[in-house]
Each structure stands twice: as C-alpha cells, then as structure tokens.
A and B are shown apart, each in its own frame.
Chain A
C-alpha cells in the first residue's frame, strides 16, 4: 500500500494511509470493535485528508475487506469523489464462512489456529476477529452497498472469481463503472515463515494508471 501511495503522490495526489483502530500502529486492540467502527474510522480519515490536503473531496481505495468497509463509508458521504475496490470482499457473511472453513482445514493439518471458545473470537495466522466484529461484518454486502454509492466506482482485480464477476456484472450497467483484470499474486492468507512478502505490482500499476487517466482534479 505504501508503494501505491508513493506512486499516486508522484502523479500529484495527496495520499493518506491509516490503520483501523486495533490494528497496526493505531491505538487499542480489537476487543469490542465492530465493522461499523472501522467505517467510522474511514469517515475520520476522509475528514483528516480533506483538512490536511485542503481538498474538497477524496477518492477511497480499499483492498479486500477495506473495499467493503470503504463502500459502506462512501455511501451518502458527499466528501467522496470515487471508490476503487481492489480484490474486494464481496460478502461479509461468506468471508467469515471461508475463514472458519480455512481454520478447520488448518486444524486438520495440525495447525493450532482455531476458533477460540467460548467467546467465539476467530484466531487465524496471528489475526483475530472478535464476535461483535463478525456480527456487524455479516451484514455487509457489496452487491447491496455498491448500488447505493453515487460516485464513480472502479473494480480492479488480480484474478477472477464468481463473486467478482457477479459484482462487476451488476455494476456494469452504470456508465461510471470501470473494471480491470490485472493478473497478480492474491493469496492473502499466505504466511511466510522467513519473511517473504507478496508484490502485486500489476495491480498497483493498474490503479496508478486509472488515477493518472482521470487526473488529479477528476
């Protein structure tokens, strides 16, 4: 994300990256945090970007779960100019189901990662998701949210899935919708024990090109 931010800044954009509450360098942990709190964090970030960069509007770029959260934040926010979704989580409920399945599969292969009892917090590969977050996330669906977002939407994906296709099909009726497939690594659950990292350059380039074509004032 830093590389993307640097590339966009070289195109003339001011870029704000931030960690949701309970993650990264931001305060607290995830105890009691909900997906709605993260939507609120995006709204704070929008206001901060507007204030710091002295711009009337900001574009939102969300990766995976960030795209789903950003779509919710973009709804009815008149300070958002456009929404770009990178490999978006399309359905919160399905996402949770997939995580639980992955945890169970990993357990069968000897992993100690598990769904912690009795409170139901999900733990996998060092990441955790408390019950309130799961409950609020389950209510988020891009197919519902995206149709209510009034600003231009872009969907840039590193691979094809049924969910991506369904979403792009639904949005394709809009004249302000942009879709691009930029094949790149996308195994976001991959954890490397020697510090290897993904480097999805094709998608980063595609996003920069998308913004470059539209210009800073678009």
Chain B
C-alpha cells in the first residue's frame, strides 16, 4: 500500500490523500473509491473512520481510495462562490473524479460518505454516471408507519415517560437544548447546515433513477432515533424495487459517529466485502501498461464479463 498527499486544482486546491494497493493486489485499476467529509469533520473522519476504511479497502479489496477535504474543511481553503455547500460538494467531487481520471485513468468511482457525506454521494451519483456505487452511512431515509410505531409505542406505554411529560407541562423540568447541553457558547460553536433533508418524493424519484441506471447502493444505518428496523429503507421508498442493486445493513447499537471499535471494525469489513463483490460483478478486462504504469482499458462496456 502506498499513500501520497494530493492537491486537486491550481487555485484554492482541494487537499486529499490517495491510497493505492500494491500493484499485484490491485483488483480494479479502473475504479477508485472517494471518501467524502461528514459535516465539518476533516478527511480523517470521525474516530479515524475514513483513514481506517480507505486503508482497509486498499489492502483487503485491492482498491485505490482517495479521501479529501471539501473546500473550507480540513486542509482545503474555502472557495468563494454562490453555490450552497450541497451544490459545491457535487462540483468538487466531480472535479476530483476528473483529476483522478486524467492522472490515474480511473473512470469508474464508488462514493462513500457518512451523514452529509452520504447525501453528497447520492447527489453526485445523480449527476454523474461515472459513479457505479455509493456507500451511504445514515443516508437519506424517512419515517414509516412501522418506524413511528416502534419509536412511539414504548414511550406511550412507559409510566416514566408520562411522568416526565407531566412535569414538563407543569414547567417543573425543562428540556435542555443547544448550548445548555454542550456548555459551549453559540459564538464558539460552528454547525453548518450540511444535513438538510429534501422532500421524500424527491429522493424517491432520485433513487428510482439511480436504480434504473443499475447503481449499486450500500446503505448502513445506525442506532439513531429515526431508523428503527432492517427493512425501513425499502418500505420508505416503495414502490421502488431495488433488487440486487441495494444492500442495507442495520447496526441498531452503533452510534452515529461509530465511536465503538467493534462497530467500526464491523462496518469497515462490511463495506470492504461489499466493494469486493461489486468489483467482481462489474469487472472489465484490462491490462497494465508495462513501464509507466499507464493503464489501458480494453473494454468500454459496463456489462459483467462472462
């Protein structure tokens, strides 16, 4: 495995780290995995998840990975413009794909992201057909009647909850929010709004489009308040029939930032396994250039070889 720092773009470059497997271990010389920021967390990822995942994908799945900082995050300088952070993210991922294509001849990409990074991977996939797969950790999903039941039924049946409810209504206790919980004054606290949700119908239409295109999607959901059962994603976006395009994994005890080591290990291995399987299913024949490492794709088709 080899890692190098890369700066994408001449003016106000995006800073990232390219991880490449040893040449004999490379499973797909035409495919790279791009790991996106979560919120304002830099490219190392929450609890070093992006570094761990990037290296694991390289060592275990034989894939090149690129983790980088969006403009204004981590080591990448802020860029001025009129785009929202969500719009700029798509443009910057495409800029990175262009760069990796020109430099290393990668022309197929798997996008990975947690939370707002997942949202960015979804939006980029909609805009760019070079994306053959997305790995979305706590990506877009909405409540279903079953998730409402699973969320509220225990509360309705809990005497302790009713007791708290009455005390709140009587003004005897108060829910703490924001700075009251963190103890940090707002002026010292920066939470950009990266994680807004579009309407469900819009996402459903987008997913239908991606599904029809044959995009492979791995969704991993953790133990948040809104994802309550394994099939919630599919129920949420009915009548879209995802079939083999979709894999959903639910870790109900894992935290949103994967703070526990065994959760991180399980998620990293799941993603690596999924990526290996995706590469096997979609591999195109290739050969390596002999001296410069320049790679020539022999087949432009996206069909699975026999």
The reply to whether chain A is a binding partner of chain B is yes
Tell me the A residues contacting B by CB distance below 8 Å.
Answer: 2, 19, 23-25, 27, 112-113, 116, 123, 125-128, 184-185, 187, 190-201
Q: Which residues of B contact A184 (CB under 8 A)?
A: 188
In the assembled complex, the CB of A213 is this many whole angstroms from the nearest CB of chain B, namely 25
Given contacts A184-B188, A196-B189, A201-B188, A123 and B257 within 8 Å (CB-CB)? no
- Cβ-defined partner of A185 (8 Å) among B44, B116, B184, B257: B184
B41 interface residue (CB < 8 Å to A) = yes
Q: Which of B45-53, B164-172, B211-219, B277-285 contacts A (4 or more CB under 8 A)?
A: B45-53
How far, in angstroms, from A25 to B43 measured CA to CA in the complex? 9
Find the residue from B3, B184, B192, B257 having the highest chain A CB count within 10 A.
Answer: B184
B259 touches A113 (CB 8 A): yes
Q: Which residues of B contact A112 (CB under 8 A)?
A: 253, 255, 259-260
A25 touches B184 (CB 8 A): no
Known: A25-B43, A125-B47, A195-B195. 6 other contacts (CB 8 A): A113-B260, A125-B259, A126-B260, A185-B188, A194-B191, A200-B188
B182 touches A123 (CB 8 A): no
Those of B215-263 within 8 Å (CB) of chain A = 253, 255-261
Interface string of B166-198 (1 = CB under 8 A from A): 000000000000000011110011111011000
B75 touches A193 (CB 8 A): no
B100 interface residue (CB < 8 Å to A) = no
A187 touches B74 (CB 8 A): no
Closest 10 CB pairs of A and B: A195-B39, A126-B47, A126-B259, A196-B191, A185-B188, A185-B184, A193-B256, A199-B188, A24-B44, A195-B40
B36 interface residue (CB < 8 Å to A) = no
How far, in angstroms, from A116 to B259 measured CA to CA in the complex? 14
Those of B59-75 within 8 Å (CB) of chain A = 74-75
B194 touches A190 (CB 8 A): no
Q: List 5 A-B contacts (CB under 8 A).
A: A2-B74, A126-B258, A193-B256, A194-B39, A197-B189
In the assembled complex, the CB of B219 is this many whole angstroms from the nearest CB of chain A, namely 19
CB nearest neighbor in A for B117: A195
Find the residue from B48, B51, B257 having the highest chain A CB count within 10 A.
Answer: B48
Tell me the B residues contacting A by CB distance below 8 Å.
Answer: 3, 17, 38-41, 43-44, 46-48, 51, 74-75, 115-116, 182-185, 188-192, 194-195, 253, 255-261, 264
A193 touches B255 (CB 8 A): yes
A195 touches B194 (CB 8 A): yes
Q: Which residues of A contact B39 (CB under 8 A)?
A: 194-195
A196 touches B260 (CB 8 A): no
In the assembled complex, the CB of B267 is this many whole angstroms from the nearest CB of chain A, namely 13
Q: Which residues of A contact B115 (CB under 8 A)?
A: 194-195
How far, in angstroms, from A62 to B106 measured CA to CA in the complex? 40
Counted as pairs of residues, one from A and one from B, with CB atoms less than 8 Å apart, the total is 84
- Cβ-defined partner of B191 (8 Å) among A19, A23, A113, A195: A195
B183 touches A187 (CB 8 A): yes
In the assembled complex, the CB of A105 is this many whole angstroms from the nearest CB of chain B, namely 15
Q: Which residues of B contact A116 (CB under 8 A)?
A: 261
How far, in angstroms, from A194 to B183 measured CA to CA in the complex? 16
A193 touches B257 (CB 8 A): yes
In the assembled complex, the CB of B195 is this many whole angstroms from the nearest CB of chain A, namely 7
B184 touches A190 (CB 8 A): yes
How far, in angstroms, from A123 to B265 measured CA to CA in the complex? 14
How far, in angstroms, from A187 to B17 measured CA to CA in the complex? 30
Given contacts A123-B260, A126-B46, A198 and B51 within 8 Å (CB-CB)? no
B253 touches A198 (CB 8 A): no
In the assembled complex, the CB of A165 is this many whole angstroms from the nearest CB of chain B, namely 22
A187 touches B184 (CB 8 A): yes
A192 touches B182 (CB 8 A): yes
CB nearest neighbor in B for A201: B188
